[in-house]
Amino acid sequence: MKGRTFLVLAVALVAVDLLVPYLFLADIPSFAASFLFWTALTLLVIIAAAGYIRHWGKE
């Protein structure tokens, strides 16, 4: 992945991390709202990172 693409994705991720709970989930009193969102987002990032580094050292 090119550095610029990576940077754009990272900035988009930070925006999603902040904006989604504030704009769409803030008032929902449920574990299925902000709690689930941040948990799922973090899990996705970890899975994506695992996929990205899988090929390290193989080339």
Partner 1 sequence: MRPLYVWIAMILWTAVAAWIATAARRRMGAGASEFFIGGRRMQGFVSGMTYAATTYSAFMLVGLVGLTYRSGVGALGFEMTYLIFTVIFLVVFGPRFWLVGNRFEHITPPELLAHRYESKSVAVVAATISFIMLIPYSSVQLMGAGFLVEGLSDGRIPFMAGVLVMALLSGFSAWWAGMRSVAWTDAFQAVTMLVTSVIALVFVAFQFFGSPGEFVTTVTENNPELLTFDWDPKLFIGLTLPWAFFALTNPQVSQRMYVPDRIVSLKRMIIYFAAFGFLYTIISTLFGYQAAALLPGLENPDEAMPTLLTQVPTLLGLIIFIGIFAAATSTLGSIILTLSSLFVRDVVKHIKPDVPERTERRLGRMAMLGLLAACIVFAWFRPGLITVISSMASGGLLVMAPAIIGAFFWRRGTATGALISMAVGGVLTAVMYLGNIYPFGWWPSVWGAGITTVLYVAVSLFTTPPSGAGEFIDWLNEELEAKGFRRSRRSRR
Where do contacts with partner 1 occur on this chain (CB under 8 A)?
1, 3, 6, 10, 13, 17-18, 21-22, 25-31, 33-35, 38-39, 41-43, 45-46, 49-50, 52-59
Q: Which is nearer to partner 1, 8 or 10 (CB)?
A: 10
Q: Do the beta carbons of residue 28 and residue 34 sit within 8 Å?
A: yes
Alpha-carbon distance values, 41 to 2, 20, 55 (Å): 23, 11, 23
Q: How far is the CB of 41 from partner 1 (least distance, A)?
A: 7
Q: How far is the CB of 8 from partner 1 (least distance, A)?
A: 13
Which token pair is 12? 């988009």
